[in-house]
Amino acid sequence: MGNGTVVNIPSMFDELAQLDKNGVDYKGRLKLSSRAQLVSSIQIEADNAQEARRAKESASAVLGTTNRGIGPTYASKALRMGLRIGDLEDWNTFLPKYN
């Protein structure tokens, strides 16, 4: 997964479990760029809140997102304030960024 992607860790593990269940061998083939963006619960909540706000305005204002936080994660990336996979390498650095 390259630096242009966003990764939701729990969803990724769910998908990997499905591959395991179906006998798909991905070991040694799955690589995550240290620059791929992490989807956090904050972005998911923001996505849901934005869609709810649009729905109150009018039905035509709703974007119809998947409510998985993808849009807000890309927005954080563009603002250079998002979390990256590489941030997980050092927990002492990751926690202040996350908080």
**Amino acid code (one letter) for 2:** G
Q: If you ran DSSP here, which 8-state letter would residue 84 be given?
A: B
Average pLDDT over residues 71-91: 92
Spatial contact of 40 and 98, defined as CB atoms under 8 Å apart? yes
Phi (first) and psi of residue 36, to 5 degrees: -70, 145
Which band of pLDDT confidence, cut at 50, 70 and 90, is reported for residue 9? very high
Spatial contact of 74 and 56, defined as CB atoms under 8 Å apart? no
Could you tell me the domains of the chain? Answer: 6-20+39-98 (1.10.300.10)
pLDDT digits (tens, 9 = 90+) for 55-64: 787 777 677 7
Spatial contact of 32 and 85, defined as CB atoms under 8 Å apart? yes
pLDDT digits (tens, 9 = 90+) for 13-33: 999 999 999 999 999 999 999
